[in-house]
Amino acid sequence: QKEVEQNSGPLSVPEGAIASLNCTYSDRGSQSFFWYRQYSGKSPELIMSIYSNGDKEDGRFTAQLNKASQYVSLLIRDSQPSDSATYLCAGAYNTDKLIFGTGTRLQVFP
């Protein structure tokens, strides 16, 4: 059974702080990882993709992948109240199957 695990939260951080979201996966065969943001009542929105070990930065977001530890993380710098949402981690198996975690709810308070 391929699984992606996340802490459901909520993770509460003050405005301006760094939010750190974590994800582990069970299958070493997974090749690609994604972070989606989902606002309440809305559909998931792709915010980051990462395919190789190390860090990938895009604006205030940094994704980190460690395949040896089967660990993926997302850092959000200078967190804003508008970042409050559920963040879904997903791993890709083969090229056409995404497995999602349950998501971590992030709350950024002013």
Partner 1 sequence: ETGVTQTPRHLVMGMTNKKSLKCEQHLGHNAMYWYKQSAKKPLELMFVYNFKEQTENNSVPSRFSPECPNSSHLFLHLHTLQPEDSALYLCASSRRDRNTEAFFGQGTRLTVV
Q: What residue ranges bind partner 1 (CB under 8 A)?
A: 4, 31-32, 34, 36, 42-46, 49, 51, 88, 90, 92, 95-103
- CB 17 to partner 1: min, Å: 27
Nearer to partner 1, 41 or 110 (CB): 41
- Which residue, 62 or 104, is less far from partner 1 as judged by CB? 104
- For partner 1, the closer CB: 84 or 105: 105
Smallest gap from Cβ 58 to partner 1, in A, equals 13
If 0-12 CB within 10 Å is exposed, 13-18 middle and 19+ buried, where does residue 34 land? buried
The span from the CA of 73 to the CA of 91, in Å, is: 12
